[in-house]
Amino acid sequence: MNMIAFSQTDNQHLIELQGVTKVYGTGQAAMHALRGIDLHIEEGDFVAVMGPSGSGKSTCMNILGCLDTPTAGAYKFKGIEVGKLTRNQRTRLRRFYLGFVFQGYNLLNRTSALENVELPLIYRGVPSGVRRVRAVQALDRVGLKGWDSHTPGELSGGQQQRVAIARAIVTEPAVLFADEPTGNLDTARSREIMDLLTELNRDQGITIVMVTHEMDMAAYAKRIVRFLDGLVESDEQNGRTA
Amino acid sequence: MLWNTVLLALRELKRNVMRSILTILGIVIGVGAVITMVTIGGGATAQVKEQIASMGSNLLMVSPGKRLGPGQSSGNIPFKQADAEAIAREVSSVAAVAPVSSKSIQAVFGNQNWSTQVTGSDNQYFRVTNRSIRSGRQFSDSELRAGAAVCIVGETVRKKLFGGQDPIGEKIRLQKLSCEVIGLLEGKGQSTMGMDQDDIVVIPLSTFQRRISGNQDVAIIQVSVRDGAPTEKAQRDIQLLMRERRHLSASDDDNFNVMDMKEIAKMLTGTTQLLTALLSAVAAVSLLVGGIGIMNIMLVSVTERTREIGIRLAIGALESEVLMQFLVEAVVLSSFGGLIGIALALTASIWLADVLHVPFVFNAGIVIIAFLFSAAVGVIFGYFPAFKAARLDPIEALRHE
């Protein structure tokens, strides 16, 4: 993180997209996934990103998550222009500031819940003793106390997603990106996960950006951004607070 | 960080025990074969050296013919007994000189018969070849001069012809010659080339010349140099003397050669070492094949674990860390294979050494080299798959099913 120097200014946004476009392919086959997105996200926000398939919401998430870079326009994370960073610099940004939760959980198979949660701390170079304590705390936080030694195969979908959330929050990230976190879960399990995310946002002040199809789930967020054909269709505060 | 990576790698390998074992099989066999070959080859070489040393390092062999190699000589003017006598008389640094001729002959006693090496020489022969008489006596001067029908037998001949019976005083038949056994040689065991040195019957040279070969030739003159005297000087003196006796002019090449045991040893060990090197080279190829095996499995593993790599990259693993992880996995695999190979090779070598009657000589050098080489195989053949893993796009990798 030493190589990333943040320029702190008063009116700075945590996340700032300015005229971001993303084009896949070239010439006739060019596919415009994003056609010019302007978006600000402040610290402590809980944003639900909605939109039909092909609307560009996933592409946008990849860019926000520093996994991809814009074709044109600027993405500033804490004032840093991500598009100008190298692959390794973006990796370090993810390592120290971002957490990810995926639809398919994406846990390491045949690896205990504890080891899964410890993984990002290993890459941060946290000593093993501290790592263990923090991983146990994170599992505790998502309501999986005592499930440390279970492997993903021995856990239900809801539990697996909790482990994934524990893995994402164990590093105390600035932003948690959740890509359809309830997509594979039934309603009851989905509500539990959403309650957990809401709590994390409310109690720990973790900024959350979540992609979802379902209005029910989006309703938990403070703010809903709708994508359509590579543009932001609407961006409004959510009336209901979950 | 490196230790962490090693732990991660070990964890990963433990998860796939069966595949890990199959992966390292090639390395195990490669390392095992190389070490076994080198160890057994080293044992054989040591045995050759030891036996030559037991024959006495101060031994010189003078044989007629141009220098070609051990046991090879082009047909040429043979030596006579007088040549041996001249060496004993003229060369001051020699301790003993034995003119020797021999022939393979069927020895018969009663209804037993045994094909053995009949050697014609004199009492000096026992001194030169470092042998002693266990029972009975040496030849007497008159027996030597007169070409008497007497013989001294080796241990193997005694066993084959006489069984438990005392051979002294008995008569054995060698072709048309019936001779009395007057002595029994101390056993000496197998020689360098696997020949039984106790399979021998010694008779006086004059007897041999008259009754067996039918001429006055001496096949070879064996000379032992006095302790402390330089063999090089004795060798040179004998050479000069022989040139004179054989009337060679300054421009002529030697038509005989004087070899010391060091040279003979060098030739013999050279042969075993060459063989060892050849076999080891063949074995080394299997190491290479083992390396390719590791690469294949690592490539499969990278494909299989694409999603995992995606997760690691997304979570914050640097390219170099993913590269390191897979490289360490390959190295841990291959070095582990190396260790098993070493254990296997040592077991096999001890067993083989016993079966082949070769001493077991532990060669720490080759064990270390083989281990380092197996680790290097991991680095070399693990690099490509590791590089492939590190270069994956996390978005694509996460989408991979």
Does residue A20 register a pLDDT over 90?
yes
Question: Is residue B49 pLDDT above 80, yes or no?
Answer: no
Q: Which residues of B touch A87 (CB under 8 A)?
A: 319
Lowest mean pLDDT among A65-74, B355-364, B366-375: B355-364
Whole-number average pLDDT of chain B: 86
pLDDT score, position B5? 74
Question: Which residue does chain A place closest to B322, by CA atoms?
Answer: A123
From chain A, the residues in CB contact with B316 under 8 A are 91-92, 94-96, 98, 120, 123-124
CB B87 within 8 A of CB B246: no
Average pLDDT over residues B60-80: 69
Average pLDDT over residues B344-354: 92
B11 neighbourhood in chain A, CB within 8 Å = 111, 115
The chain A residue lying nearest B310, using CA atoms, is A106
For A129-163, what is each residue's pLDDT tens digit?
999 999 999 999 999 999 999 999 999 999 999 99
Residue-level pLDDT at B290: 85
Chain B positions contacting chain A at CB under 8 Å are 1, 4, 8, 11, 15, 307-308, 310-321, 394-395, 398
pLDDT per residue as tens digits for the range B137-169 = 999 999 998 889 999 999 889 988 988 888 899
The answer, yes or no, to whether residue A1 has pLDDT greater than 70, is no
The answer to whether A106 contacts chain B (CB < 8 Å) is yes
Calculate what percentage of chain A has a pLDDT beyond 90. 79
pLDDT for residue B50 is more than 80? no
Q: Which residues of A touch B317 (CB under 8 A)?
A: 91, 95, 123
- pLDDT band at B129; cut points 50, 70, 90: confident
Say if the Cβ atoms of B317 and A92 lie within 8 Å: no
Closest residue of chain B to A169, computed from CA coordinates: B315
CB contact under 8 Å between B316 and A124, yes or no, is: yes
Lowest mean pLDDT among A19-23, A168-172, B298-302: B298-302
CB-CB under 8 Å, A88 with B318: yes
Question: Is residue B42 pLDDT above 60, yes or no?
Answer: yes
CA of residue A71 relative to chain centroid, distance: 21
Q: Is the pLDDT of residue B285 over 90?
A: no
pLDDT of residue B198 exceeding 90: no
User: Residue B228 pLDDT more than 70?
Assistant: yes
Average pLDDT score, chain A: 90
Q: What contacts A66, CB < 8 A, 6 or more positions away? A: A77, A82, A85, A90, A93, A94, A98
Interchain contact A1–B (C-beta under 8 A) = no
CB within 8 Å of chain B, chain A residues 129-158:
none
List all residues 6 or more positions away from B333 whose beta carbon is below 8 Å from its beta carbon: B13, B20, B23, B24, B27, B294, B378, B382
Contact A115 B11 (CB under 8 A): yes
- In our burial notation (b when 16+ CB lie closer than 10 A, e otherwise), range A189-215 reads bbbbbbebbbebbeeeebbbbbbbeee
Mean pLDDT, range B377-392, rounded to an integer: 92
Residue A7 is predicted with a pLDDT of 55
The reported pLDDT for the residue numbered B74 is 52
Between chain A and chain B, the number of residue pairs with CB atoms below 8 A apart is: 56
In this predicted structure, the answer to whether residue B339 has a pLDDT above a threshold of 90 is yes
Neighbours of A97 (CB within 10 A): 20
**CA atoms of B97 and B85, how far apart (whole Å):** 8
Provide the pLDDT confidence category of residue A110 given band limits of 50, 70 and 90.
confident
Task: Say which residue, B49 or A23, is predicted with more confidence.
Answer: A23
Q: Which residues pair with residue B101 across a beta bridge?
A: B120
CB-hemisphere CA count at 13 Å for A232? 18
- A5 pLDDT tier (thresholds 50, 70, 90): low
pLDDT surpasses 50 at A102: yes
The answer, yes or no, to whether residue A242 has pLDDT greater than 50, is no
- Pick A68's closest partner by Cβ from B313, B318, B395: B395
A90 lies within 8 A of chain B by CB: no
The whole-number pLDDT of residue A70 equals 94
The lowest-confidence range among A5-14, B174-183, B295-304 is A5-14
Lowest mean pLDDT among A34-48, A131-145, B66-80: B66-80
* Ordered structural domains, chain A, with CATH: 15-237 (3.40.50.300)
Judged by average pLDDT, the poorest of A132-141, A187-196, B12-21 is B12-21
Question: Average of pLDDT values for A167-175?
Answer: 93
Which residue among A91, A107, A110 places its CB closest to the CB of B316?
A91
Nearest to A106 among B4, B316, B398 (CB): B398
Separation in Å, CA of A182 to nearest CA in chain B? 17
- For A237, residues 6+ apart whose C-beta sits below 8 A from its C-beta are A222, A223
pLDDT category at B195 given cuts 50, 70, 90 is: low
As given in the structure block, the two tokens for residue B190 are: 């197998």
Mean pLDDT (whole number) for B281-299: 86
Joined together, the tokens standing for residue B276 give: 């060892």
For range B304-329, the mean pLDDT:
90
Give which of A64, A89, A123 to mutate to test B binding, by max B Cβ within 10 Å: A123
| Mutant choice from B1, B315, B399 vs A, greatest count of A C-beta within 10 A | B315
* pLDDT beyond 50 at A3: no
User: What Rg, from alpha-carbon coordinates, does chain A have?
Assistant: 18
Say what the pLDDT of residue A118 is.
93
CB contact under 8 A, A106 and B15: no
User: For residue B68, is pLDDT > 60?
Assistant: no
Q: What is the DSSP letter of B91?
A: -
**Mean pLDDT, residues B294-305:** 88
The stretch B241-269 carries a mean pLDDT of 82
Q: Residue B311: which of A87, A106, A110 has the nearest Cβ?
A: A106
Amino acid (1-letter code) at residue A97:
Y
pLDDT at A240 over 60: no
E strand or H helix that includes residue B63: strand B59-64
Residue B206, amino acid? S
Instruction: Quote the minimal CA–CA distance from B16 to chain A in Å.
Output: 10
